[in-house]
Structure 1
Amino acid sequence: MPRQAPAEHNSGAVPLPHWAARLEDRVHEWRERRVRKRGYLTTVIPYTGYGSGEWVRVLGRVLLTKPVKPGSRAERLRAKRDQSIRGWRSFTSVPVNDVTVTIEIDGHSHSVQADRGGVVDTVVPVALTPGWHTATMRTDDSIVVEAPVYVVAPDARFGIVSDVDDTVMVTALPRPLLAAWNTFVLDEHARIPTPGMAVLLERLASENRGCPVIYLSTGAWNVAPTLTRFLSRNLYPAGALLLTDWGPTHDRMFRSGRLHKEQSLRRLADEFPDIRWLLIGDDGQHDEEIYGQFARERPEAVAAVAIRQLSPGEAVLAGGRSKAEAHDSGVPWVYAPDGAGLSDQLTEHGLI
């Protein structure tokens, strides 16, 4: 079971949220009132979760969407549009904050409040067998949707954590202008998988049956459906997406993507203390530094670190590669420009 956060002392004073968060809340409230008048309905978007034999982490988001009749031409057009959606449309959705979501799995029911961005991220105590299971999610005025959940076997000793941008997908995220183009403009079918990475991850998952696969990214929850379709279309192994919110928080203008990754790695290590993780990233941002720090803090939780090297052109436009540090954690580190090269080196270390 995940460690529980210590109870905070209640002094009676509630801290005032950051002004940007208050402004965002007002904008969301105005947009919600506006689209509800136009007949938009509450919709729960389920994401892939994970868990152990005693609990599951269920993920999803509550949005307002335009209603369509089942089987109608409008529904077919929406499905076609969703399959060719451009990035910016993912960021125009209207979240429903503080709504109650009912989660049911294996006969157990659990109610939770979506956060101020409509995100549902909760742990449900339930005893399940290893493998894939299905949780249902709904609000009082939405239809029931199904969320896949992968339960890790108690004897699992190996897991995969992979970055997304410039690791499994070529997005050139370090380059601000191209990052904006890829994120907000580019059609999802035009996104390019990193050569050899799907084969590498599938091989790792196949040779370590039952191992959990986690895709850890600083990307926004808005793009989760797009990323899920991309991973499936390019034959990456199924796994949970751990994304974040680009908006303001209660105490700062923007969320820290780096902090999101650091906290997620520590949480996974606490949730699965017997698993050693293969950490996969790239040298274009902070993956080396984040993984290196985690390997020093929790060397027993890291099987190896695999870093995909940017091409010379990518490195120049990104302002250079991240500075390689001396790795003194005793954890193997491998570097290569593609999945095939990483696979060869991981084989040399006996990890494949």
Structure 2
Amino acid sequence: MRIPAPLSFARSALRHDAAGAGSDRPHWAARAEDVKNRLVGSTLRRLHWDLRLQPFHGYGSATQARVLAKVLYASPRTSADFHDQPVHDMRTVAVRGWRNFTSQVAPHRTVHIRLGGEEFTVRADRSGIVDATLEVSLSPGKHQAVLWTVPGNEVTADVTIVPPEARVGMVSDIDDTVMVTWLPRPLLAFWNAFVVHQSSRQVVPGMPMLYQRLAREHPHMPVFYLSTGAWNVFPVLKRFLYRNGYPDGPLLLTDWGPTHTGFFRSGPEHKTRSLERLAAAYPDVRWILVGDDGQHDPSLYAAFAERHPELVESILIRQLTEPEQLLAHGTLRPLVGSSPGGRGPLALAAPNGHGLLAALQRHGRMSR
């Protein structure tokens, strides 16, 4: 494949490292991870392993697009990029989770992107993540960006461009909001990595129907799935949502592992930054925020509504059962301050999607 010149240069957002940008020296765990990545990467290159791209689902507006992907090493015996498969292709779903967690990232690699008839050059961050905001003019709907590191390893990434007439959007949590795993939160990474059969995950009753009804009520509504889960489980989560009838949309996940300031990234900070970024990208959209009361969703959504009361359409909280609360945070009751109420936008709570739909209908926010 020929790479035309000159190329436009995109603003590649290395936001995963931004938290420690002001510190003099990165956390020792981050330094150790960087050394490990250099040593393992050097060994794999000597063994003639190739660079492969795992594409994620991006989004944008009429003038900008956010393209997301991850750069990994792959064995030369791998004839095709096993990440670049249609979401509806379930033939190999039983063996993919563990591969996503054992693959080796390739930090700071140059990646080329073609989108909207233009080409861009960006760089991955220290975790191999490509997070690039491209200045490009695209029509509303779904587009495909082509990404490659060298000619011959091209993959495509979906990019959803939100129509300018959209006035309502939805942001939804994933764990315990759209699916139930019945496991303590510390074990969710293991679960998503190794228990990959779709039948092993339970759908929260009524939630797919609720989301479909909301999508019909607001025809131009963009849907974003915001989770503290790792990018490693993107293929598994994408298939779960597809198989169970949830509306398609970008997944906003995070990268686990050490940062410049500590062992792990903050889940609440990831959600807060993502909400603020969506608010800035779509200033005319009012958001339906959907989560559960097992962790921090109610307080995070309430804080966002306090900062941007004009941008919140409603807050919908799925109430966990006592056993689910115990698995979520170790007690039988919701976290302090987790119940919606008080001033601000409409805030409703119910045990499942059926209850939330009925509550929206009672308040005149949904047709019967």
With normalisation by structure 1, the TM-score equals 0.88
Choose which of 335, 339, 361 in structure 2 pairs with 1:322.
Answer: 335
What is the aligned partner in structure 2 of residue 340 from structure 1? Answer: 354
- Counterpart of 2:359, as a letter, is Q
Q: Match for 1:33: what amino acid?
A: S
- Paired residue type of 2:300: I
What's the counterpart of residue 185 of structure 1?
A: 194
Any stretches of 5+ residues in structure 2 without a counterpart?
1-10, 15-21
Q: What corresponds to 1:279 in structure 2? A: 289
User: Number of paired residues?
Assistant: 336
Partner of 2:172: 162
Instruction: Give, in whole Å, the separation in 2 of the partners of 1:101 and 1:346.
Output: 45
SS of alignment partner, residue 157 of structure 2? strand
- Equivalent residue of 1:258, what SS? helix
Q: Which residue, out of 27, 32, 37, partners 2:36?
A: 27
- Which structure 2 residues correspond to residues 76-87 of structure 1 after superposition, within 5 A? 82-85=92-95, 87=97
**Range with bigger deviation, 313-322 or 296-305:** 313-322
Closer, same or farther: CA 124–36 of 1 in aligned 2, 3 Å: same
Is 1:48–1:148's contact at 8 Å kept on the other side of the alignment?
yes
SS in structure 1 at match of 2:57: strand
1:66 aligned partner:
75
> Post-superposition shift, 1:253?
2.1
For 2:340 and 2:92, locate their aligned partners in 1 and report how far apart those are by CA, in whole Å.
45
Cα contact 2:57–2:158 (8 A) shared by 1: yes
Check conservation: 1:299, 1:329, Cα contact below 8 A. Answer: no
RMSD: 2.5
Contact 1:86 1:186 (C-alpha < 8 Å) held by counterparts:
no
1:9 aligns with none
Over the matched positions of the two proteins, sequence identity in percent amounts to: 45
Structure 1 position 101, deviation (Å): 0.7
| Structural mapping, 1:246-257, within 5 Å | 246-257=256-267
Equivalent position of 1:10 in the other structure:
none
Q: Which region of structure 1 is more displaced relative to structure 2, 177-186 or 194-203?
A: 177-186
Give, as a single letter, the amino acid of the residue that structure 2 aligns with 1:60: A
1:108-166 per-residue CA deviation (whole Å, 9 max, x = no partner) reads 11111111111111111111111111111111265111111111111110001000111
Alignment of 1:202-217 (within 5 A): 202-217=212-227
Unpaired runs of 5+ in structure 1?
A: 6-12
Please name the residue that 2:131 is paired with: 121
**Cα distance between partner residues in 1 of 2:239 and 2:365:** 28
Which of the numbers 60, 64, 69 marks the counterpart of 1:51?
60
Residue 323 (structure 2) aligns with: 313
Deviation at 1:82, TM superposition (A): 3.7
Tell me how far 1:330 sits from its aligned partner: 1.9
Change (3 A) 1:145 1:180: closer
Distance 1:66 1:80, change over 3 A: farther
Q: Per the alignment, do residues 142 and 308 of structure 1 end up closer, same or farther by CA in structure 2, a change over 3 Å counting?
A: farther
Supply the distance in 2 between the matched residues of 1:18 and 1:328 (Cα, whole angstroms).
41
Task: Verify the 8 A CA contact 1:42 1:142 in the aligned structure 2.
Answer: no
Partner SS state of residue 253, structure 2: strand
AA paired with 1:51?
Answer: G
Distance across 2 between alignment mates of 1:349 and 1:292? 19
